[in-house]
Amino acid sequence: MEKRIDRENWNRNAHDRLFARLEVPFYSLTWKLDVTEAAAFAKRRGVSFYSVMIWATMQAINGVEAFRYELRGDEVYLLDRRNPSYTYPWDGELFGICGLEWRDGEDPVSFAQRMREAERNNPAPVPTAEADGAGHDVYISCVPWFDYTHVTQEFPLDNTDSTPRILWGRFETNEKGRKTLSYTVQVNHRLIDGIHLHRFLESLCGAIHALEAL
């Protein structure tokens, strides 16, 4: 269930109003993320590394309340969960976009299986404007062909856009055998501050490290 926020008693109301003055209140951060356990789990359990990373990302997203705020005009809602909307290979050099319902408590192998099924049954590689306008999503993609140090992502010139955007690159293996990649999060400053990104990163790292025991 979603809940409409009472603005007058919302401790973030003044901060939201501050950044609402801007046409582009969005910002992004890129980290070097250690994904050693995620890569090992994917190989050990026979699932894609991409699916494991989406699973860990969604665990972290839904575990931080600020990432579940959504702006609708002048109103703010708290969602019970967000769902992944992710790209996948389609027809040679093109890509498809697939949405999937997030299920709390689902293990990464079952999640990977549902991803494959959703892609096989996807009615269209790119959603229509009507289908894409439902919200509640996290936009996720990757560039597995290269590492990067900086990236910009597309977004509408609508300062109520509340959809977090996630991207990562190819992982590199260092001399100690640890695997790291560039991981980027783009968010709306009306809803999310640096401390919330810190909590997200802590939750993401925790989800990845926990894979070692699965």
Tell me if 15 is assigned to some domain: no
Q: What is the pLDDT of residues 141-191, one digit of tens each?
A: 999 999 999 999 999 999 999 999 999 999 999 999 999 999 999 999 999
Q: Is 177 helix (H, G, I), strand (E, B) or coil?
A: coil
Q: What is the mean pLDDT of the chain?
A: 94
Tell me if 13 is assigned to some domain: no
Tokens of 103: 């299920």
Tell me if 116 is assigned to some domain: yes
Q: Residue 189: which residues within 8 A CB-CB, separation 6 or more?
A: 19, 22, 25, 26, 27
Tell me if 33 is assigned to some domain: yes
Tell me if 179 is assigned to some domain: yes
Q: What is the pLDDT of residues 87-99, one digit of tens each?
A: 999 988 999 999 9
Number of domains in the chain: 1
Instruction: Tell me the CATH number at 55.
Output: 3.30.559.10
- The pLDDT, as a whole number, for residue 94 is 92
Range of the domain at 152: 27-213
Tell me if 10 is assigned to some domain: no
Inter-residue contact 55 to 108 (CB < 8 Å): yes
Q: What is the pLDDT of residues 101-136, one digit of tens each?
A: 999 999 999 999 999 999 999 887 887 654 554 557
Residue keyed to tokens 């992710």:
86
